[in-house]
Amino acid sequence: MRFVDTIKNIWKIEDLRQRLVVTFLLILVYRVGCFVSLPGIDPNVLAGLKSQTSSGLMQLLDMFSGGAFSQASIFALGIMPYITASIVIQLLGMVLPSFQKMQREGESGRMKINQYTRYLTVLILLMQAPAYLFNLQAQVNGAQAGAISLGWWDVTYMTIVLAGGSMFIMWLGERITDKGIGNGISFIILIGIIARLPGAFVEEFAGRASTAQGGLVMLVIEIIVLFAVVLGAILLVQGTRKVPVQYAKRIVGNKQYGGARQYIPLKVNAAGVMPIIFAQAIMFIPMTLAGFVSTTEASSGFMKAMTDMTGFWYNFVYFAMIVAFTYFYTAITVRPTQMAEDMKRNNGFIPGVKPGKKTSDYLDSIMSRITLPGSFFLGIVAIMPAFAGICGVSHSFAQFFGGTSLLILVGVVLDTLQQVESHLLMHHYDGLMKSGKLKGRTTGAGY
């Protein structure tokens, strides 16, 4: 009954109700567009492309696009070019003084950064769209010779259509952020991932049901393990170490400031999903190179080990890179020196620790200690799909046992629920949780 009462309370709040309706309508537009094929492309001849997206990198891209990639849709490139551009701009903001200056300029700086991100997104789209079209032609003609013949003009106008489709998705995401609920870009990725879940579950159920003995029992075990992994991902996203900070009393005129004790929540996984994205990008390089070498070279030695996504060496190197990238990304995003300076400037100090360099070293040591288990746990979550595949889980369903898709799903759901909870509490209704507190994801790239 508590759940029903919560739904009623959500519907009573006019602003929240309007935001939910707007979000639903915009997502509906996005999902309809995923099934609109490129002009001149027959959806019935895409068997080769769908076969290519059944595993590996292509399966991941197809999942993030909600199936639009394998259907040669106008939204085939999805929102990933924008995310790639955002990551590049974010990294530039860490190394280039000009971008660092824009980040400190407040709203005007944020608008400039968004403008540069859009320009870079268009540039990436103009490079990715022709590559997608040539791959589409090769896959379709490989399965059915002569089914597609793309000339110079065809590639040109289809590139414009694909670029326009991705920019339209980006616009939908911004409208969801402004007029709807949650982070629009993240929400679109979430919908794309969830859209693949029913089909993957049905495929796994059909496969287990056809097994002579113990098939359905194994399916139940898989679901239990999946829930356990999801719970672990939630703990990873929400985990923090609170550091107490005491603020000294200040008398300004007749008013007293400070004197209260507060806490700095240091995230166990401050890097979010970025280490997995970086490691995944590097691990896909051998797979890309394998397409340019002979079959004999690709099936032997180092190349074979680095292209077997269920093999020991692939997952060992993948795990090690995630741990390394977690430390790297945490080091450039969490800055103990800046935190120590801010505390000193506001007359704050950590009890028992001298302000200045001692405080910076103390915060750095805490981050190093809590990042180690966080990085190991993140690496385990990332390679869970490989273990699921080894245990006989289908490729499509195994993707939901870990990796980027699971962490994005958990993080976005928690973030959206946190916004709904804030609306309920603001209007004096009970929150989604009995405690009235629901932690969302507040760090990382926001995806």
Domain residue extents for the chain: 213-447
For residue 323, the tally of other CB atoms under 10 A from its CB is: 18
Cβ–Cβ under 8 Å, residues 87 and 445? yes
Distance separating alpha carbons of residues 447 and 357, to the nearest angstrom: 33
Record the pTM.
0.76
Which among 207, 125, 180 has a CA at the least distance from the CA of 158? Answer: 125
Looking at residue 442, its pLDDT comes to 43
| 163-187 burial code (b ≥16 CB/10 A, e <16) | bebbbebbebbebbbeebbbbbbbb
* pLDDT at residue 167, as a whole number: 93
Cβ-based neighbour number of residue 139 at 10 Å? 24
- The residues near 433 (Cβ < 8 Å, ≥ 6 apart) are 421
Q: What is the pLDDT of residue 162?
A: 92
| CA 267 centroid distance within chain | 17
Cα–Cα dist 406/64, whole Å:
11
Greatest Cα pair distance in the chain: 85
Give the pLDDT confidence score for residue 444 in this predicted structure. Answer: 41
Cα-based torsion angle of the residue sequence 93, 95, 96, 101 in order, rounded to the nearest 10 degrees: 50
The conformational region for residue 437 under phi > 0 = left, psi -120 to 50 = alpha, else beta, is beta
The two tokens of residue 52 are 């290519």
Instruction: Using CB atoms within 10 Å of the CB of residue 344, give its burial: 0 to 12 exposed, 13 to 18 middle, 19+ buried.
Output: middle
Distance CA 166, CA 34 (A): 11
Report how far residue 216's alpha carbon sits from residue 220's, in angstroms, rounded to the nearest whole number.
6
Pick the CATH number of 213-447 from 1.10.3720.10, 3.90.220.20, 1.10.3370.10, 1.10.760.10: 1.10.3370.10
pLDDT at 443: 39
pLDDT attached to residue 172? 92
Return d(Cα 257, Cα 156) in angstroms, integer: 63
Residue of 355, 338, 334 whose CA lies nearest to 247: 355
Confidence at residue 184, expressed as pLDDT on a 0 to 100 scale: 84
Q: What is the pLDDT along the chain (447 residues), one digit of tens a residue?
A: 666 777 777 777 788 888 889 999 999 999 998 888 888 887 777 776 777 666 666 677 777 777 788 888 899 888 888 888 887 887 787 778 888 788 777 778 888 888 988 999 999 999 888 888 888 887 777 666 666 777 888 889 899 999 999 999 999 988 998 888 878 888 888 888 888 888 888 888 888 887 766 677 888 888 898 888 888 888 887 788 787 877 766 555 555 555 567 778 888 888 777 788 778 767 766 665 655 555 555 556 666 777 677 778 888 888 998 898 888 888 877 888 888 888 888 777 888 888 888 888 888 888 888 888 888 988 888 888 888 888 888 877 888 887 777 887 888 888 888 888 887 777 666 655 554 455 554 434 445
